[in-house]
Structure 1
Amino acid sequence: MDVLAIGTPAEEATLAALLRCCVREVAGPRGLVWPAPPYVLLRVAGTLLRARTHGGAALRLDGPPERLEGGSWRPLTVTELVRLAEADLADRQDEHARQGLGAGPAHLPVEPNGEFAGQVAASRDAIAAILAARPAAEPPADPWLASEQALVYGHPFHPTPKARDGADWLRYAPEAHAAFPLRLLAVRHDALAEEGDLTALDALGPAAGGYRLLPAHPWQLALLRPAYGPELVDLGPGPVAVPTSSVRTVYVPDAEVCLKFSLDVRITNCVRKNAWYELAGAVELTSRLAPVLAEVATRHPAARWLPEPGYRTALGQREGLGVIVRASPWTVCDPGVTPVLAAALALDAAPADPLAWWTAYVSAVALPVLDLYFTHGVVLEPHLQNVLVGLDAAGTPVQAIFRDLEGVKLVAGRHDLGGLHPAVASALTHDPARGWARVVYCLFVNHLTEIAATLAGHDDGLLRVLWRAARDLLDRQAAELGRPLPLRDLLAGAPLPAKANLRVRWARAADRGAGYVPIANPLA
């Protein structure tokens, strides 16, 4: 694997992300991580590594990681850490095979992953390309869109956070401040599949009688190369779209609407395509959850959500050309409130009073999520890229906007899904344990841990104060909810489930097959 010079931002970011994965998923489960302030020590494939860190479980790095060699500490490179991680994961497979235990936890494959090193290198090179492109690009004037396009380095606990397939990805990359015209297609009425309210799509442009307008992502059209003819007509360029952090979901300023497209492209773990049952599921959940979320908002007035009222596609390319309509966050925020992506706040939040700001943040974001789970059996997926935080003129969190119904599930046994297609019903449900693990991972591990680390900086005392304040808020809510057992366990300090992104990438598995590893609970 070619290596950028040690010390370049792309190399440093890639090394830091992979090291965090090794702490959490390789050394941690084996008991091979030791605090030695100001360092964290870990052993991977027999080699002792160390890094200066702060931020608790967020593992923010201060300076380059090092490895022990010949009694001296030497700088660690991405190439070396990849080799160590590969050796450790392969040894774990062999150990389980020798014991007759199969492939081992988190679906580790029987055969080593020969693609892994190349994927790490590709992600690192993508970061370098993004950093090179950003200075010459014009960021959006809209503060919400600017926050969507701020995630240069990606998921801090993912071995390939910026992995992208395809040669033309940079022209569509939100991190490079991309903006591009959609392509407008016309689909003949008898070759159409659609459901729900599609007023927003029809307003994008004219279509001849007997046809309906279907916007398409130009990257997806280049990949699919659909056959045009009487049933599917190319109408040419349409309105300009701005990609949000997920890449495939865009905002169309002229229409004030978000559109979620299929992309036959692997981004981090998954090929980002709207399955047919996800198209139908979005409309079903929009209708089903509207009264539930309205009821929750009576107790948690800060809670908002972005409905997905309709989808449209062409029968010949049902999944490839499927598009889901999603409301704009500006339509659900109160006047004077600015939506900002939570993941961007995790990069840069510096309020004058961190404790007051944090208390407002946890109240707005966490409390409605837990209410929905325990009161209504609804599993939100409130990770950093699925939550927008509404800030008032002083920068205080006053609203939380939840989005992306693909990740929303219903707890099995608590909802009547008898009228749905079995595949749609199955895709919409989680059993209680799986649903709770998803809520806890997304809300606490992925989300609040990162926000708290940013607020506290290097002040470990402040970090403890923040988590005590969060615990007090959650304890009061637990009393209001009747102290359900999972919430009691959480407050008692039960380990938190952290998603095993390294293992699922090593296993070449679908993201939905990712397992969890336990990490320390800061609420303890």
Structure 2
Amino acid sequence: MHRSPTAEAEVADELSVLRPDLAARYAAELPGARAAVLTRLWRALTHEPLTWVEDRTPDRDGLTLRLRDGRRLHGPAPDPYATAAYVTAVRLDDVTYDRPARLMTDLAVPHGADLVAELDHSVASLALSRAGRPAHPKEWPTSDWEWEQRVVDGHPFHPNCRSRPGFSVAEQLAYAPEHGPRVGLGLVPVPAEACLVTGEWPDALRDGRRVLVPVHPWQAAHVLKRPCEAQLTGHPLMSLRTLALDGGPHVKTALSARLTSSVRDISVGSIAASMTLSAFAEDMAAHADGLLHVTRTLGAVTDGSPDLGAVLRESPQEYAGSGERVLPVAALATTELPQSTAWLGEFTRLAVTVGLRLLELGVALEAHGQNLLVVLSATGAPLRLVYRDLADIRVSPARLARHGIPVPELPARILTDDVPALRRKLFGSLVAGALAGTAGSGTALRAALETAVRDLPRTPDLVALCEEPMPAKALTLMRLSPGRPGDRWAELPNPLL
């Protein structure tokens, strides 16, 4: 059967012109990238509630999935918390597949075409990221952005961990954090009366009666369709659209491209609520006995469209004392710290204690490895946590009222008293996300959680954490469900059972 050119081949062709010095390394990284994406896809196929999977049966060689049309898909015994690429091939009836996009093509499931393209890009971009990553010095970084640029593989469990459709090889090398670039941002002038501005927008980003809105160069070229001379420079962080400005705060820009799951726009509602939400989160962090800081939003602006807006935020570096380091939890895997059972247990205890404390008060953090950061001592001991990006937290008015905490005016989508929804938000991001990604396997995660929960108050939330199935976002199901907004969920086996 004729197949269209793959993203793997397209990237190779572009590299041969742009960076021929990377071509051989890119080719060498492709098998590992395919296995990494296939491992993430296998997690989805074996645990997400996909209607076209009718049965999952363990056997001596692994696990067999019986599909609705009678075909059988076989692969290794799954570990839903594994981050190592342990799935190198699966078998659909009598055909073996080592390329996730080809597997998804031949599964021929409803709405699968877009996911096929994204899996194809994910493999190619991941191989490119691994090929182009700079060598890390033995010394730990001193700045937070250097830590962020160490995270090469992207989301530890999403098959679209490095999917960047719409980005050429040149643009990935120029803008993606793992390649270590410094990116120039343009400034788009907008009449002040045509803007929504909240917080303190700095004088340096104003021009008389005009507000200067930072814009990402990709957004300027592909969405705004206008030249935009670079006037600010910064280092891209894990989210790619957020940059640590040279000598200043972090700035989140609009980026209307689908990266992993989402189009990275900035809504008018999020700008309007940004300062209220920031102040509320700062007050709530004060209830965590000094173990949690929340980066403050300094200012935010939008021209009223999702395509042009920006948020200025404190750098997490503000919360590192002398000799301390602050880094995203996702970057812990680039150190040797998680290899120590004692260290992993100590860090897990800190994260679970803080997460459950806030949940009891009425705030469910989306504490995945990008939003959650940890402050380490000079010897590597986990001291405190830092949280950033409040757009997707959930707040329970009933729980706040129970503790005598007034409910601020927050967007309706953030407010819920639904207990399963609150627990899914925290457990799915923290345990099935950040902690699992740090531990690297179900066995290590179980040991760390046993240490963490041993002495905690036995609240209903803790009982649910220890005894109920572990929620995780059904990321592949969500990509196969066009027209159905919002999160979908899978239930993973609880590592403590």
TM range (shorter): 0.7 to 0.9
Alpha-carbon deviations, 1:129-161, whole Å to 9, x = none? 323433599999655223312333322332322
Alpha-carbon deviations, 1:47-104, whole Å to 9, x = none? 2423377x6632634462343766xx956442553146x34xx4xxxxxxxxxxxxxx
Paired residues of 2:151 and 2:331 also in contact (CA < 8 A): yes
Quote the residue 2:200 is aligned against: 197
Quote the residue 1:12 is aligned against: 35
Quote the residue 1:304 is aligned against: 293
Letter in 2 for 1:22: L
**Distance in 1 of aligned mates of 2:421 and 2:456:** 22
**Distance in 1 of aligned mates of 2:338 and 2:437:** 18
1:180 aligns with 2:154: no
The alpha carbon displacement at 1:35 in A equals 6.7
Quote the residue 1:248 is aligned against: 241
Give TM-score, length-normalised by structure 2.
Answer: 0.82
**Distance in 2 of aligned mates of 1:182 and 1:431:** 41
1:358 aligns with 2:344: yes
Quote the residue 1:465 is aligned against: 447
SS of residue matched to 1:399: strand
The alpha carbon displacement at 1:162 in A equals 1.8
Alpha-carbon deviations, 1:252-275, whole Å to 9, x = none? 0222x0111111111111111111
SS of residue matched to 2:48: helix
**Distance in 1 of aligned mates of 2:98 and 2:166:** 30
Give TM-score, length-normalised by structure 1.
Answer: 0.78
Quote the residue 2:19 is aligned against: none
**Distance in 2 of aligned mates of 1:83 and 1:190:** 50
**Distance in 2 of aligned mates of 1:427 and 1:509:** 18
RMSD over equivalenced CA pairs, Å: 3.3
Quote the residue 1:264 is aligned against: 256
The alpha carbon displacement at 1:501 in A equals 0.7
SS of residue matched to 1:117: helix
Q: Percent of counterpart pairs with the same letter? A: 25
1:239 aligns with 2:239: no
Letter in 1 for 2:479: R
| Partner residue of 2:367 out of 373, 378, 382 | 382
Query: Mean Cα displacement is larger for which, 60-69 or 145-154?
Result: 60-69
The alpha carbon displacement at 1:44 in A equals 5.1
Alpha-carbon deviations, 1:222-244, whole Å to 9, x = none? 2333789xxxxx7x422211111
**Distance in 1 of aligned mates of 2:346 and 2:259:** 33
Q: 1:52 to 1:517 in 2, by over 3 A?
A: closer
Paired residues of 1:27 and 1:33 also in contact (CA < 8 A): no
Quote the residue 2:75 is aligned against: 50
Q: 1:291 to 1:125 in 2, by over 3 A?
A: same
The alpha carbon displacement at 1:400 in A equals 1.1
Quote the residue 1:428 is aligned against: 414
Quote the residue 1:78 is aligned against: 100
Query: Mean Cα displacement is larger for which, 238-247 or 11-20?
Result: 11-20
Quote the residue 2:334 is aligned against: 348
The alpha carbon displacement at 1:404 in A equals 0.6
Give 5+ residue unaligned stretches, structure 1: 91-110, 229-233
The alpha carbon displacement at 1:342 in A equals 0.9
1:516 aligns with 2:492: no
Q: 1:469 to 1:411 in 2, by over 3 A?
A: same
Quote the residue 1:289 is aligned against: 281
**Distance in 2 of aligned mates of 1:362 and 1:211:** 47
Quote the residue 2:208 is aligned against: 209
SS of residue matched to 1:477: coil
Give 5+ residue unaligned stretches, structure 2: 9-26
**Distance in 1 of aligned mates of 2:370 and 2:185:** 23
Paired residues of 2:185 and 2:232 also in contact (CA < 8 A): yes
**Distance in 2 of aligned mates of 1:83 and 1:353:** 38
| Partner residue of 2:358 out of 339, 350, 372 | 372
Say how many residue pairs are matched. Answer: 461
Paired residues of 2:220 and 2:226 also in contact (CA < 8 A): no
SS of residue matched to 1:466: helix
**Distance in 2 of aligned mates of 1:126 and 1:295:** 42
| Partner residue of 1:478 out of 437, 457, 470 | 457
SS of residue matched to 2:334: coil
Paired residues of 1:278 and 1:427 also in contact (CA < 8 A): no
Paired residues of 1:27 and 1:43 also in contact (CA < 8 A): no
